[in-house]
Amino acid sequence: MQTYSIHEAKTHLSRLVEQASKGEPFVIARAGKPMVKVIPLNAPEPSQTRRFGFMAGQITVPDDFDRMAEVEIVKMFEEGS
């Protein structure tokens, strides 16, 4: 994500807003310290971001998961030898 000084942001505001509306957010900084982040209005809220574990409890992993298709896999590697 690109960071711009307040002066740069004022000078190029139209272009930066256009880029942000297309999904390229940017940060405006004062004296090198980030102050604000500009993102498009249709950007997902942080709570809408998908996370690992969102299907917890909805699927199950078989007990033999680590050995599923073990015979077939070994056979494929032995054929190449």
The pairing of beta strand 26-30 with beta strand 2-5: parallel
pTM of the model: 0.53
C-beta neighbour count of 18 within 10 angstroms:
11
Give how many domains the chain has, as a whole number: 1
Q: Is residue 50 assigned to a domain?
A: no
pLDDT above 70 covers what percent of the chain? 89
Give CA–CA dist 41/67, Å, rounded. 47
Q: Is residue 60 assigned to a domain?
A: yes
Q: Is residue 36 assigned to a domain?
A: yes
55/29: higher pLDDT: 29
Q: Is residue 15 assigned to a domain?
A: yes
**Average pLDDT in the 25-44 region?**
91
Query: What is the band of 33 on the pLDDT scale with cuts at 50, 70, 90?
Result: very high
Report the CATH number that the domain containing residue 16 is assigned in CATH: 3.40.1620.10
pLDDT tens digits along 40-59? 988 766 666 667 887 888 88
